[in-house]
Amino acid sequence: MRINRQWLVASRPVGLIKESDFAWQEARVPDLARDQVLTRVVHVSLDPANRGWLYEQDTYIPAVALGEVMRGLAIGVVEESRDDTLHPGDLVQGMLGWQQYAVLPASALTRLPDLPGLPLTAHFGLLGHIGLTAYFGLLDIGRPKAGETLVVTGAAGAVGSLAGQIGKIVGCRVVGIAGTEEKCQWIKNTLGFDAAINYKTDPLIEALAACCPDGIDIDFENVGGKTLDAILSLINLRARIVLCGLISQYNATTPVPGPMNFVNLLIKRARVEGFIVVDYFHRSGEAVAELAKWFKEGKIQYRVEVVDGLENAPKVINRLFDGSHMGKLIVRVSEEPSL
Amino acid sequence: MRINRQWLVASRPVGLIKESDFAWQEARVPDLARDQVLTRVVHVSLDPANRGWLYEQDTYIPAVALGEVMRGLAIGVVEESRDDTLHPGDLVQGMLGWQQYAVLPASALTRLPDLPGLPLTAHFGLLGHIGLTAYFGLLDIGRPKAGETLVVTGAAGAVGSLAGQIGKIVGCRVVGIAGTEEKCQWIKNTLGFDAAINYKTDPLIEALAACCPDGIDIDFENVGGKTLDAILSLINLRARIVLCGLISQYNATTPVPGPMNFVNLLIKRARVEGFIVVDYFHRSGEAVAELAKWFKEGKIQYRVEVVDGLENAPKVINRLFDGSHMGKLIVRVSEEPSL
């Protein structure tokens, strides 16, 4: 009998997530039914969207119910299978959740693409949902043209850091907005952004105007709030706001108004378009091939922060909201298999 | 020597326009320079956008300067010409302004398309900037598909009433929002909207939900504010918000926040796109042909409210904001020529 350790959702967070919003449970791993697969969870991805899944109301996917295992995208190793297409040792990803073992139908799992030379965490830091979000968000929704000015908010985050680098690859002037000097140094000096703005210390509108002398053509928006408003005050004709996230308001306890400069969308004939990476999974191959190629050519870098221990997940997830991490935040639940 | 009567901008309005924001002036009509044309103004179009032109800051066109003749789109008759392409008696439109006579370079004027059987006011009520706004806004930005649900705000206004009817022509379920029972009756019983909501008396969200049992796919937005927020709470996946106007905030004296449900754009992968009809003037022919055809086939109707006398323009323009007019608001400055 195999014992599973799990984080169940105990209550709906009010504001920032508290550890007491989850309950730590030990439970027996059930026997497999036909077509089911037992996966050992290796890495759980912590993402801002997780906060939205804990709302009472459904978002783009149903809310996680109270008493359920906390939902989380994860990478794992198949240990047992009653499905013909997946076998022990196979590496998969899916909504394995905040637990040590997941029993799911094979149809809920995706085999990881085989990418020799890349560590397992690259499937979260460079490829997978993060890479696809940056790739399709910028290229499909943002439609950047060489010479245009791209602003990226949450620029030192997992998605933002990639989106900015893709912007450089396609020939944009790229300005990143982040919340610490260390982040600003990283995106500018290591990732090659043209300019970086520290929204906590720089006067935002003045700094943006100085960094974007030709105005803003594309905004890859992860944050919302005052940052978005400042950007909207400087958009060019036919600007595109790629609405990837609104992290500044995910923990809000009262309704959050939209941007004051909403009217600029009209004046500038600009476009705000929301997107969610799930709509692009069927085009995964195209993004993965391109991202892996850029990585091998040294044109794109990524950064992961791996925190050990499933027990830390409820504490660590708030690092997405307090500005204390860079790149992709991951919780390691169990040993990586040797690749 | 010909005397011109004009409304000059005397001060920038705070809130609603006051008559004292304009100064009535009599001035000599200047002699024509080479390439210039003297036009007698017949009809001046009053449009919500006029309010924006009076802001201190430029919008999509430069602000009207203090001391200048108030800008206004108008139809007129050429009386004298020093240009080879325009001749006395020609009917033209352009930014003739709030005055009896306009002296402009011929390049600033557009000859009215010849449409036998249509009155002159049809160039404002059905065709021209109003028709083009409804036509391209709905079809190009909204991209409606048969069977989709279209909501139109400001639905009894010049643009809204046409946009809703075009929505019916292309097979949408069309729900209009307006501010009086008379308007609701008109758009529903005369224009053929599927449903009408009186935002002043109906509970907005409940009424919208009842009228849009399949959710909202397209919003032709003229109003903004609470109306837009209610609509955003009911949008479907990949909804399109055609941002044509935000009339609820044009007279605001403090900054107006964007919609509370802005985050729904993300969750629903929806798009807000602003547009201004000036970007479509080069495609005018295509819209005019289609609109005139629909009108002849009895598929589309329009309504004009013509107020006599240029002297009334500063008072009458507020009827765009107080909800007291239906269809297209026009000031008649001088006699229509016989067509």
Contact across the interface for A263 and B249, Cβ inside 8 Å? yes
Q: What are the chain A neighbours of B269 within 8 Å (beta carbons)? A: 60, 273-276, 279
Same domain membership, residue A196 and residue A109: no
- Residue B10 binned pLDDT confidence (cut-offs 50, 70, 90): very high
Same domain membership, residue A328 and residue A238: no
User: Largest alpha-carbon pair distance within chain B?
Assistant: 65
B258, B259, B268: residue with CB nearest A274: B268
User: Which of B267, B275, B280 would you mutate first to test chain A, the one with the most A CBs within 10 A?
Assistant: B267
Taking CA atoms, what residue in B is nearest to A52?
B267
Query: By C-alpha distance, which of A127, A148, A129 is closest to A240?
Result: A148
- Residue pair B301/B190 in contact by the 8 Å Cβ criterion: yes
Calpha distance A282→A304 (Å, rounded): 25
Same domain membership, residue A60 and residue A147: no
- Residues of chain A whose C-beta is under 8 A from some C-beta in B? 52, 59-60, 224, 243-246, 249, 255-263, 265-276, 279
Same domain membership, residue A182 and residue A70: no
Contact across the interface for B275 and A269, Cβ inside 8 Å? yes
**pLDDT for the residue numbered A9:** 98
Question: pLDDT of B53-84, one tens digit each?
Answer: 999 999 999 999 999 999 999 999 999 999 99
**pLDDT for the residue numbered A117:** 85
- Residue pair A280/A287 in contact by the 8 Å Cβ criterion: yes
B249, B259, B269: residue with CB nearest A274: B269
- Residue pair A30/A67 in contact by the 8 Å Cβ criterion: no
For residue B80, how many other CB atoms are within 10 A of its CB? 18
Contact across the interface for A274 and B265, Cβ inside 8 Å? yes
A64: which 2 tokens? 């996680």
B245: which 2 tokens? 């106007």
Q: For residue A42, tell me if it sits in a domain.
A: yes
Per-residue pLDDT, averaged over B280-294, amounts to: 95
Only one residue has tokens 């998969």, namely: A92
Same domain membership, residue B138 and residue B110: no
CA distance B1 to chain A (A): 41
In tens digits, what is the pLDDT along chain A, a chain of 339 residues?
A: 789 999 999 999 999 999 999 999 999 999 999 999 999 999 999 999 999 999 999 999 999 999 999 999 999 999 999 999 999 999 999 999 999 999 999 999 999 988 888 999 999 999 999 999 999 999 999 999 999 999 999 999 999 999 999 999 999 999 999 999 999 999 999 999 999 999 999 999 999 999 999 999 999 999 999 999 999 999 999 999 999 999 999 999 999 999 999 999 999 999 999 999 999 999 999 999 999 999 999 999 999 999 999 999 999 999 999 999 999 999 999 999 976
Question: pLDDT of B89-141, one tens digit each?
Answer: 999 999 999 999 999 999 999 999 888 889 999 999 999 999 999 999 999 99
Query: By C-alpha distance, which of A167, A174, A178 is closest to A137?
Result: A167
Contact across the interface for B262 and A224, Cβ inside 8 Å? yes
**pLDDT for the residue numbered A240:** 98
Taking CA atoms, what residue in B is nearest to A266?
B274
Structural domain for A254, as ranges: 128-279+289-293
Contact across the interface for A255 and B259, Cβ inside 8 Å? no
- Residue pair A310/A100 in contact by the 8 Å Cβ criterion: yes
Q: Tell me how many domains chain B contains.
A: 2
| Mode of pairing for the β-strands spanning A36-45 and A173-178 | unpaired
Same domain membership, residue A324 and residue A248: no
**pLDDT for the residue numbered A339:** 65
- Residue pair B147/B172 in contact by the 8 Å Cβ criterion: yes
Per-residue pLDDT, averaged over B163-186, amounts to: 98
Contact across the interface for A258 and B256, Cβ inside 8 Å? no
- Three-point CA angle A119, A121, A126, nearest 5°: 95
- Residue pair B156/B190 in contact by the 8 Å Cβ criterion: no
Q: What are the chain B neighbours of A249 within 8 Å (beta carbons)? A: 263
Contact across the interface for A266 and B276, Cβ inside 8 Å? yes
Only one residue has tokens 């409940």, namely: B206
- Residues of chain B whose C-beta is under 8 A from some C-beta in A? 52, 59-60, 224, 243-246, 249, 255-263, 265-276, 279
**pLDDT for the residue numbered B276:** 96
Contact across the interface for B262 and A258, Cβ inside 8 Å? yes
DSSP state of A311: G
- Residue pair B216/B238 in contact by the 8 Å Cβ criterion: no
DSSP state of A305: E
Contact across the interface for B258 and A255, Cβ inside 8 Å? no
State how far the alpha carbon of A136 is from the alpha carbons of A131, A242, A281, in Å: 8, 10, 10
Does the pLDDT of residue B339 top 70, yes or no?
no
Q: What are the chain B neighbours of A244 within 8 Å (beta carbons)? A: 266
Calpha distance A242→B138 (Å, rounded): 22
Q: What are the chain B neighbours of A266 within 8 Å (beta carbons)? A: 243-246, 274-276
Same domain membership, residue B47 and residue B165: no
B41 CB-near residues (< 8 Å, 6+ apart): B74, B75, B76, B96, B97, B99, B100, B101, B102, B310, B333, B334
Burial A55-72 (b: 16+ CB within 10 A, else e): eeeebbeebbeeeebbbb
Q: For residue A156, tell me if it sits in a domain.
A: yes
ipTM, interface predicted TM-score of the complex? 0.94
A141 CB-near residues (< 8 Å, 6+ apart): A240, A242, A273, A275
Taking CA atoms, what residue in A is nearest to B262?
A258
Same domain membership, residue A116 and residue A156: no
For residue A254, how many other CB atoms are within 10 A of its CB? 6
Only one residue has tokens 């990881």, namely: A112
Alpha helices in chain B (DSSP H): 49-53, 122-125, 128-136, 158-169, 181-185, 204-211, 225-232, 263-267, 284-296, 313-316
B106 CB-near residues (< 8 Å, 6+ apart): B35, B36, B37, B81, B83, B85, B86
pTM of the predicted model over 0.90: yes
Q: Determine the distance from the C-alpha atom of residue A54 to the mean position of all C-alpha atoms in its chain, rounded to a whole number.
A: 16
A234 CB-near residues (< 8 Å, 6+ apart): A205, A208, A209, A212, A215, A216
Q: What are the chain B neighbours of A272 within 8 Å (beta carbons)? A: 265, 271-273
Q: What are the chain B neighbours of A224 within 8 Å (beta carbons)? A: 262-263
Per-residue pLDDT, averaged over B204-228, amounts to: 97
User: Which of B227, B263, B275, B278 would you mutate first to test chain A, the one with the most A CBs within 10 A?
Assistant: B263
Q: What are the chain A neighbours of B59 within 8 Å (beta carbons)? A: 267
CA distance B338 to chain A (A): 38
B52, B269, B274: residue with CB nearest A268: B274
Q: Work out the angle between the directed axes of helices B284-296 and B158-169 (0-180°, nearest 10).
A: 70
Contact across the interface for A271 and B273, Cβ inside 8 Å? yes
Same domain membership, residue B217 and residue B138: yes
- Residue pair B235/B216 in contact by the 8 Å Cβ criterion: yes
**C-alpha distance across the termini of chain A, in Å:** 28
Domain's final residue, options B264, B279, B294:
B279
Q: For residue B155, tell me if it sits in a domain.
A: yes
Calpha distance A278→A133 (Å, rounded): 9
Residue B145 in 3-state DSSP?
coil
- Residue pair B231/B270 in contact by the 8 Å Cβ criterion: no
Give percent of chain B with pLDDT exceeding 90. 97
Same domain membership, residue A105 and residue A34: yes
Domain's final residue, options B279, B295, B312:
B279
Contacts A–B by Cβ distance under 8 A: 101
Q: Which amino acid is present at B271?
A: R
Q: For residue B201, tell me if it sits in a domain.
A: yes
**pLDDT for the residue numbered B114:** 86
Does the pLDDT of residue B1 top 90, yes or no?
no
How crowded is the C-beta side of B330, counted as CA atoms within 13 Å? 24
Same domain membership, residue A319 and residue A248: no
Contact across the interface for B272 and A276, Cβ inside 8 Å? no
Q: For residue B339, tell me if it sits in a domain.
A: no
Contact across the interface for A246 and B267, Cβ inside 8 Å? no
Contact across the interface for A266 and B274, Cβ inside 8 Å? yes
Same domain membership, residue B67 and residue B147: no
Q: For residue B338, tell me if it sits in a domain.
A: no
Q: What CATH number does residue B138 fall under?
A: 3.40.50.720
Q: For residue A337, tell me if it sits in a domain.
A: no
Residue A24 in 3-state DSSP?
strand
Taking CA atoms, what residue in B is nearest to A222?
B266
Q: For residue B295, tell me if it sits in a domain.
A: no
**pLDDT for the residue numbered A1:** 74
Contact across the interface for B269 and A275, Cβ inside 8 Å? yes
Q: What CATH number does residue B111 fall under?
A: 3.90.180.10
DSSP state of A277: G
Full DSSP string of A187-256: IIIIS--SEEEETTTS-HHHHHHHH-TT-EEEEEES--HHHHHHHHTTEEEEEEEEE---GGGTT-SS--
Considering Cα of A153, then A155, then A157, then A161, what sign does the dihedral take?
A: positive
B293 CB-near residues (< 8 Å, 6+ apart): none
Q: What are the chain B neighbours of A243 within 8 Å (beta carbons)? A: 265-266
Calpha distance B50→B295 (Å, rounded): 27
